[in-house]
């Protein structure tokens, strides 16, 4: 019979990663007032910003033998999501990240430079996320409520790009395997070579 203490000592505590976890964390703080919701709802990109967001999304999910983020109008989707589903602190965090890229003249840079800039943004987002995770744990362990900061820019950018692309008609039906009505469940089948993931 396994000793309970040994079993626990051997179990690693790791946060499993899913798309929605950080986004859900962003939602999990206290109730918001109507004012904040109303302010948030006036959010919008300028045409230049929309262009840049669309370009970044296309770099993340480019057109290959299947449609890319621009085909799926991911830029417009990101604007809608930030306006309707996020609060001012996330909108600010996003716009700050965007502004940093604007300062580096992102739209005029070469593809290599753009990749480098986004890689830096991604690394920064990772560092920032880890720092926030640490603070959250410290605060919760102390029995206090943690005030979630805005989601780091590139984290939010990437998540919304993936959501916008893979739930779009083009993404779901062409980049993934979309079966509207399966009609049955086969529990254990062979994965065919090059098979895509189910869209839903």
Partner 1 sequence: MNLNIKAQQQATYDAIVVGSGISGGWAAKELTEKGLKVLMLERGRDIKHVTGYETAMKGPWEFEHRGRISTMAREEYWANFRTGYTANEPTRYLFENDKENPYLETRRFDWIRGYHVGGRSLLWGRQSYRWNETDFEANVKEGLGTDWPIRYKDLAPWYEYVEKFAGISGSKEGLDVLPDSHFLPPMEMNCVETKAKGDIESKFAGRKVIIGRVAHLTKPEAFHTELGRAACQFRNMCSRGCPYGAYFSTQSSTLPAAEKTGNLTLLPDSIVTEVIFDDKAGKATGVRVINQNNPGDVKEYYAKVIFLNASAIPSTNILMSSKSDRHPNGLGNESDQLGRNIMDHHLGVGANGTMDGFEDKYYFGRRANGIYVPRYRNWGNDKRDYVRGFGYQGGGGRDSWGRGGDMPGFGAAFKEQISQPGTWTMNLGGFGEMIPNPDNRFTLSPDQKDKWGMPLIVFDAAYGENERKMRMDMMNDAAEMLEAAGARNINMYNDTEKSPGIGIHEMGTARMGTDSKNSVLNKNNQVWGAENIYVTDGAAMTSASCVNPSLTYMALTARAAEHAVNELKKMNL
Q: How many CB atoms lie within 10 A of CB 88?
A: 14
Tokens matching residue 103: 């300062």
Name the residue nearer to partner 1 (CB basis): 8 or 142.
8
Residue 183 Cβ vs partner 1, minimum distance, rounded to whole Å: 5
Q: How far apart are CA 172 and CA 200, in angstroms?
A: 8
Q: How far apart are CA 113 and CA 157, in angstroms?
A: 18
Q: How far is CA 17 from CA 67, 111, 131, 149, 196, in A?
A: 26, 29, 16, 19, 20
Residue 44 Cβ vs partner 1, minimum distance, rounded to whole Å: 15
Residue 61: alpha-carbon gap to chain centroid? 13
Residue 95 Cβ vs partner 1, minimum distance, rounded to whole Å: 17
Do 72 and 63 form a contact (C-beta atoms < 8 A)? no
Residue 20 Cβ vs partner 1, minimum distance, rounded to whole Å: 7
Name the residue nearer to partner 1 (CB basis): 103 or 188.
188
Name the residue nearer to partner 1 (CB basis): 76 or 102.
76
Name the residue nearer to partner 1 (CB basis): 19 or 44.
19
Name the residue nearer to partner 1 (CB basis): 46 or 145.
145
Residue 167 Cβ vs partner 1, minimum distance, rounded to whole Å: 4
Q: How far apart are CA 73 and CA 78, in angstroms?
A: 9
Residue 59: alpha-carbon gap to chain centroid? 14
Beta bridge partners of 177: 198
């Amino acid at each position: 019979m396994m000793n309970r203490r040994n079993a626990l000592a051997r179990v690693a505590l790791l946060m499993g990663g899913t798309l929605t976890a950080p986004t859900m964390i962003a939602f999990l703080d206290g109730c918001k007032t109507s004012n904040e919701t109303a302010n948030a709802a006036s959010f919008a990109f300028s045409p230049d910003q929309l262009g840049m967001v669309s370009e970044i999304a296309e770099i993340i999910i480019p057109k290959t033998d299947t449609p890319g983020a621009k085909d799926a109008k991911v830029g417009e989707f990101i604007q809608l999501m930030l306006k309707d589903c996020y609060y001012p602190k996330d909108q600010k965090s996003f716009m700050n990240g965007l502004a940093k890229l604007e300062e580096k003249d992102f739209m005029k840079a070469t593809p290599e430079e753009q990749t480098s800039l986004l890689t830096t943004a991604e690394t920064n987002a990772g560092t920032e996320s880890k720092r926030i995770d640490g603070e959250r744990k410290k605060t919760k362990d102390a029995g206090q409520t943690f005030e979630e900061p805005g989601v780091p820019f590139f984290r939010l950018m990437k998540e919304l790009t993936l959501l916008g692309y893979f739930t779009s008609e083009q993404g779901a039906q062409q980049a993934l395997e979309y079966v509207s009505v399966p009609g049955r469940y086969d529990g254990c089948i062979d994965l065919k070579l090059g098979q895509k993931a189910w869209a839903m």
